[in-house]
Amino acid sequence: MHIERVAGGLANALARFARRNVDPDSVLFREGEVADGVYVLHAGEVILVHGLDDGTERGRTAAAGEILGVSAAISGGAHHASAIATTACEVAFIERSEFQVLIDGSPALWFTVLRQLSQDVNESYSIIRGRRAKGKS
């Protein structure tokens, strides 16, 4: 989810959360861990990797301006991918309860969350198609 796409001053609301620097190869969250919040990526790049512990499948690269861990934070479930910094990054962490208050107060943010969830579903379909194609070769 890209911060700059959200109307209504959300970027300013997100800016109030403390930022920290993250070194390359640092893991923000692991696939299977229950989400306790989301990460706002202010600078740098993070790769979302599926199957990190059992054969690593490369996922997509997230860039500055994205919010990571949305699906798991909304559902209260586990992360479906691991997030690993590929460069030095600047991130802010927002606890799940605070993020829910933010989205409850902003229809524009809800729409952005829905768009991100839709993109995540489409990415999952692509991964499944790729696995099926490998199995047929």
Dump pLDDT digits (tens) for 31-82: 999 999 999 899 999 999 887 666 666 778 888 888 899 989 989 999 988 9
Q: For the full predicted model, state whether its pTM sits above 0.95.
A: no
Rounded Cα–Cα distance for residues 98 and 65 (Å): 19
Tokens of 17: 């959360």
Q: Cβ(117)–Cβ(71) under 8 Å?
A: yes
Sign of CA dihedral 72, 77, 79, 80: negative
Which residue in 25, 21, 20, 1 sits closest to 85, CA to CA? Answer: 25
Q: Cβ(50)–Cβ(84) under 8 Å?
A: no
Domains, in order of start, for the chain: 3-95+105-129 (2.60.120.10)
